[in-house]
Amino acid sequence: MERSLSMELVRVTEAAALSSARWMGRGKKDEADDAATSAMRDVFDTIPMKGTVVIGEGEMDEAPMLYIGEKLGNGYGPRVDVAVDPLEGTNIVAQGTWNALSVLAVADHSKLLHAPDMYMDKIAVGPECVGKVDINASVTENLKAVAKAKNKDVEDVVAIILNRERHQAIIDEVREAGARIKLISDGDVAAAINTAFDHTGVDILLGSGGAPEGVLAAAALKCLGGEIQGKLLPENEEQRLRCTGMGIDDIDRVLHLEDMCGGDDAIFAATGVTDGELLKGVQFKGMKATTQTLVMRAKSGTVRFIDGNHSLKKKPNLVIRP
């Protein structure tokens, strides 16, 4: 992949964030998602690449744009797989809470897992804990391993977990072990990324979430030198058949980072829609707006935080009020 592609992709997530942020706190998650998707798709047409969506808004008959298999880019440049979540945290934006992102990942052709839309059990950690955790081990064992790797007491470890009834046993075990918990309503891509940045105060992600989000997190952690492990959790025969169609006959097989995002290169970009521990959300200031974006490339190890200032006079589609 070309070095310049990283900066080009920033424009994509910025556009999606600017459009969806207009819906913050308005209680309309579908409208927010549609705004992000439409803006992201428009900018993709200008990007110098030959991209194919492998993780997107659904199958062709389910989504009018950014559907799985859709071709993206202007037809010039590298041939790449693309994973997108135009608005990671639709409920977050609807409610006006924390950590909504516009997210995408790009990798060399055939290197991103075509993850089916189902749950995936996940464990994610930052660079210090690579090789120290095991999704098949107990919660307590993993907390102790993280504590040892980070030279801290278990009581100082923070686990981030989606606040769902299905996670009650995990929550109970974390509390019994003496570790601390940050419960989140949505947004486990942001949660996984936060494990790789000390200032977020997050040490480990535990629990199940969407499999497509697991692949996006894998791309980010590949750039950051972290680790994610996952196990698909099909709920019915149809989902089991989808796993088989992906070549995963052993449903209990552990998917490692390289299974989800292979090759030696990947690019990940995320723009904050609402404020979070890692990125500030979009702020509108009359006919101007500000954004903050994280963009990373695995091959070079480059991690950039980009503050954007946008003149909305030049982007009339971004100043339309809901």
Pairing status of strand 50-55 against strand 79-88: parallel
Say whether 165 counts as a known binding-site residue. Answer: yes
Say whether 89 counts as a known binding-site residue. Answer: yes
Say whether 188 counts as a known binding-site residue. Answer: yes
Token digits for 128? Answer: 């210090």
Under 8 Å between Cβ of 295 and 119: no
CA distance 311 to 278: 24
Say whether 213 counts as a known binding-site residue. Answer: yes
Say whether 134 counts as a known binding-site residue. Answer: no
Say whether 121 counts as a known binding-site residue. Answer: no
Say whether 117 counts as a known binding-site residue. Answer: no
SS3 assignment, position 279: coil
CA distance 162 to 187: 8
Q: Which long-range contacts (CB under 8 A, 24 or more apart) does 306-309 make?
A: 306/10, 308/10, 308/14
Say whether 265 counts as a known binding-site residue. Answer: no
Q: Which of 308, 153, 61 is nearest to 143 (CA)?
A: 153
Annotated binding site for Mn(2+): which residue ranges?
A: 33, 57, 85, 88, 213
Annotated binding site for substrate: which residue ranges?
A: 88-90, 119, 164-166, 186-188, 210
Annotated binding site: which residue ranges?
A: 33, 57, 85, 88-90, 119, 164-166, 186-188, 210, 213
